[in-house]
Chains A and B, each alone.
Chain A
Amino acid sequence: GAVVSQHPSWVICKSGTSVKIECRSLDFQATTMFWYRQFPKQSLMLMATSNEGSKATYEQGVEKDKFLINHASLTLSTLTVTSAHPEDSSFYICSASIMGTEAFFGQGTRLTVV
């Protein structure tokens, strides 16, 4: 199947700093990528839809100024958590789909804000 790679797999940062997470589709072009957040023992919650060459579409309740999404190319989307705080600590997962069918997921990024 298609491969989606996320980097880094885990990151620890100080409160108030910003962290960038990359999501790459390695063997296909993804005009649309998705960013999810997963709290411990809970399901994945969609944060935003990342569209290549245009602004991301955020789900209700997600702060777009805090979670900056850039989809500069057909194979790369980035999520930047700005001015991170401990409550932002979570598991962030991206996905990309081919022609709106099956979604392929990255391995996720565990963010810990101290």
Chain B
Amino acid sequence: AQSVSQHNHHVILSEAASLELGCNYSYGGTVNLFWYVQYPGQHLQLLLKYFSGDPLVKGIKGFEAEFIKSKFSFNLRKPSVQWSDTAEYFCAVHGSGNTGKLIFGQGTTLQVKP
């Protein structure tokens, strides 16, 4: 069965610290991978996505993620977090050619202390 696992449920960092959120997936085929962010009281927004090509993907707000096929991983990174990055982060996957149906990870709450 398809599944997505996020290792960190709650992360607390100080401003300027580096961030890495883990994401592993289980899917028997070619996948498209996503990271979404949900700021408090707001709807989900796309941070970045991977469909094919360069496995190192750069997204908005200084975020990047690396697709490592052999490890079934798509970890999210940011070199220096800001207080405004406090939010819920979701990793998601759907199969290539899929109509857009997403399977989400459990989510990671990031709290950045000023």
Contact = CB atoms under 8 A, between A and B. Distances in A.
Interface of A: 1, 31-32, 34, 36, 41-46, 49, 93, 95-97, 100-108
A32 B80 CA distance: 38
Nearest to A46: B101
Nearest to A103: B100
Interface string B92-114: 00000111111111110100000
Interface of B: 32, 34, 36, 42-46, 49, 51, 90, 97-107, 109
Given A42-B107, A43-B107, A100 B100 contact: yes
Given A43-B107, A44-B90, A101-B51, A34 B101 contact: yes
Contacts of B51: 101
21 contacts: A1-B46, A32-B99, A34-B102, A36-B104, A42-B107, A44-B44, A44-B90, A44-B104, A46-B101, A95-B44, A96-B100, A100-B100, A101-B32, A102-B49, A102-B100, A103-B34, A105-B36, A105-B43, A105-B45, A106-B43, A108-B43
Contacts of B43: 93, 105-108
Given A93-B43, A103-B102, 13 more contacts: A1-B46, A32-B100, A34-B101, A43-B107, A45-B104, A46-B101, A93-B44, A96-B100, A97-B99, A97-B100, A100-B97, A102-B49, A107-B42
A33 to B, nearest CB: 9
Contacts, number: 58
Nearest to B4: A43
Contacts of A107: 42-43
A90 B30 CA distance: 32
Contacts of A1: 46
A32 B94 CA distance: 14
A42 B106 contact: yes
A49 B105 contact: no
A42 B106 CA distance: 6
Contacts of B99: 31-32, 49, 97, 100
A31 to B, nearest CB: 8
